[in-house]
Chains A and B, each alone.
Chain A
Amino acid sequence: MAPLKQLERDNPIIDACFRDFCASHGILTAEDFLLHDLYELAAFAERLANSDRLKESITLMLSLIELQCRPLLNGMELLEDLHRHKHTLSTGDKGTDSLLQGGFREGQLTELVGPSSSGKTQFCMQAAASVAEKHVGRVLYLDTGNSFSPRRVAQFICASSDAALVQTRNVYVQEVLSRISCHTVYDIYTIFDTLQGLEVTLRSQVQMNVNKCRLRLLVVDSVSSLITPILGGSGSQGRALMVALGYLLKKLAHEHNIAILVTNHTVGAGEGGKTKPALGETWKSIPHVRLMLSRDHRNSDCTISILKHTSLFLCVFVFFLAFRRDCEDHNSQGQSTMIVLASFAIYAHLLEQCLFNQ
């Protein structure tokens, strides 16, 4: 918090006399003003000898506060920002793209929920490959479990590129891979460091007008493994850090037009072996889009469904995606076939499995 003294340099009216008056009301910083009724303060100032000057200073403080505020945007301005800066990025999977009406949207936080080995990391790597290749954007991959595999990403790139010669293909793959940077992050404090560093870099890039190959996708795989250790107990510290991380991500996404993809695991609810996304109620209001991945272990088909979406209507769509994820198959494109369900019985069963529990 900025002490009032610092403001004196630019605004000479905030002099020692005014600061004394403020200190007598327990106001030491600019932020302290926010908690006070300024009309009441002005009324106090009225009783003092130099009331005019004090009131002038209070008005000045109010205008300083106003300067820090974000602008009030109307609907058309919001739409313009959306069309100009917030594009959709392909997830690398046609079925998911059509489910999400184009893919991830820049400025939004997409959460991928699924039990262990349901294909979350595969999905993330495929998305990273897709954004780096098709959208020529930089990708920052924050890996918390050493599960990032450049070789697998290269496979995804190879699968979708059509260069015939092995040599040109290798050059191409290397060029795409150079746009993906991976950082390992093992605890929540490190991720705060990384993200705050990123914010500073991005801000300076905006000032210098660097526009080539900007950061378009940020992947955190998995965010729940960073947050779960600090949750628990009755204290509010863990949850406060969780909420702060969520807001930091959303701020980065919105202000720098980055699509953010985070993964979350599932936990058993105890009742009849049903599972639900980890991180609890509070986290639910963080992501814009919540996707649920589940996998049928008999035929290794992955199902993806929308649990929450802020712009598609709130009902739950269910699509089945056969999402091939075997690493041996080099030609596997992770292509999905979309089978819109016909049978009501299967449908009800699926709903019970993956949607009711949350």
Chain B
Amino acid sequence: MGNDRTRGWIRGDETAKQMLSRVLRDRAFLLLPPLHRVPLRAGNVVEITGASPSAKTQILIQAAISCILPKTWNGIHYGGLGKLVLFLDLDCRFDVRRLSQMLKHRLLEANRLGNGAWWQLEESNVKTCTSVQDKSSIVYDEELYVSCMKRFLCLRCYDSLELLSSLKTLHYRIRQQEACGSQVGVLMIDSIGAFHWTDRLSSSLALEKSNRKSLSLTNVVETVVQEMKKLLQVHSLVVIATKATIYEERNFSSKDDLSGNASSKAQQPPLREFMPSSWQAFVTHKIIIRKSGDHQSVQTGQQSLSAYSLEWLQPQLSSIDRFIVDDSGIVIVS
């Protein structure tokens, strides 16, 4: 039996083309900074924790853009995955203008890198076009922009019931979308703890029948996890979820914060976990973002940007990235 298997393995039943297509299909994606430290594979569940505002949605948007961009288009390298993004908007405040703005910026940047001569010719033009929309239409490919925007799918949910029914039917809807061509690459949830308090309240409502499941927090989250696990079995997805901190960090000293030195981990208070254990067990990668003072840029002395520090908790990495958000997106500063 073992002999047979070995012989089968040696003989090889896969052509190089088949193998390449298999390997490339579930190749790990290396997302842009600040998620660049750990390569993510299909089936991974990333949780990004941070108080609001801490650029969580910004990270999602940038990851989404690298997913919806094609790898190459008309000879210019964009380095994207060309896959669909499913964005579950539980906070109900996703602003599509931000996505559109960032996408245009990325397209322009790629054009600039791929086309040096052109850049030198119209440098003045490009510099102004991030703020002036009509000018920017000259310099990026409208068709590419539209096809990228169409790969971004958004679904709003106003309560847990809507979330559950969306997840129940998501498989069919993904099928419908995938029939149009591209596969879904990332499922994003912004943010997972949005209905925490309302669910906790319904946990206390008693139901008359003993075998009837109530819409309690644990039951809801358990079902959400179960439905997502089912989705992950059928579709090769990476799940990225944000989690807003809903408790204040009590012993948070703002003096340490001001110094802008967030490197010593011992000072950081432990985070209060509020998600039920079923969710915690589901998460494979954990990131935490903290505000770490302000960053004064040398060129624009007048404008100070909030700086954030990002730390990988799972897998635990010793390095902490500090980044700021400006009009070009997330910029790592140290």
Which chain B residues lie closer than 8 Å to A48 at the CB level? none
Residue-wise, chain A 298-322 has the 8 Å CB interface mask toward B (1 for contact) of 0000000001101101111100000
Q: Is the CB of B166 within 8 A of A37?
A: no
* Contact partner, A79, options B100, B169, B198, B201, Cβ 8 Å: B100
CA distance A280 to B247 in the complex (A): 8
Whether A281 sits at the interface, judged by CB under 8 Å, is yes
Q: Are A73 and B155 interface neighbours, CB within 8 A?
A: yes
Residues of chain A contacted by B197 (CB below 8 angstroms): 236, 239-240, 242-243, 282
A351–B305 Cα distance when bound, in Å, is: 11
User: Are the CB atoms of A314 and B58 closer together than 8 Å?
Assistant: yes
**Given the contacts A69-B169, A72-B177, A79 and B96 also touching, CB distance less than 8 Å:** yes
Q: Which of A133-141, A324-332, A337-345 contacts B (4 or more CB under 8 A)?
A: A337-345
Contact of A243 among B93, B198, B213, B223 (CB under 8 A): B198
Are B162 and A75 touching (Cβ within 8 A)? Answer: no
Question: Chain B residues near A341 (CB, 8 Å)?
Answer: 302
B295: nearest residue on chain A (CB-CB)?
A315
Indicate if the CB atoms of A308 and B52 lie closer than 8 Å: yes
- The proximity string for A residues 232-260 relative to B, scoring 1 for CB distances below 8 Å and 0 otherwise, is 00001101101110010011001000000
Q: Does B211 sit at the interface, judged by CB under 8 A? A: yes
Query: What is the CA–CA distance of A13 and B62 in the complex, to the nearest angstrom?
Result: 47
Asked if B195 and A75 make an inter-chain contact with CB atoms under 8 angstroms apart, the answer reads no
What 0/1 pattern do residues 132 to 161 of B give for CB contact below 8 A with A? 000000000000001011111111111101
A165 close to chain B: CB less than 8 A: no
Q: Which has the most chain A C-beta neighbours within 10 Å: B86, B91, B166, B197?
A: B197
Nearest CB of B to A142, in Å: 20
Shortest C-beta distance, A20 to chain B (Å), equals: 14
> Do the beta carbons of B173 and A315 come within 8 Å of each other?
no
- How far does the alpha carbon of A356 sit from the alpha carbon of B293 in the complex, in Å? 8
Contact yes or no, A26 B212, CB < 8 A? yes
Interface residue? B231 (CB, 8 A): no
Q: CA separation between A92 and B151, bound complex, in Å? A: 38
Flag B203-233 by CB within 8 Å of A: 1 or 0 each. Answer: 0100001011101000110010010001000
User: In the complex the two chains form, what is the Cα distance from A316 to B158 in whole Å?
Assistant: 29
Q: Given contacts A32-B212, A311-B95, is CB(A237)–CB(B149) below 8 Å? A: no
A288 nearest in chain B by CB position:
B93
Going nearest first, the 5 A-B pairs with the smallest beta carbon separation are: A75-B149, A240-B201, A26-B212, A315-B305, A26-B211
- Since A75-B100, A236-B204 are in contact, a sample of 13 more A-B pairs with Cβ atoms closer than 8 Å, ordered by chain A residue number, is A28-B209, A31-B215, A34-B164, A68-B162, A70-B157, A72-B86, A72-B154, A75-B148, A79-B100, A240-B198, A282-B246, A344-B301, A356-B258
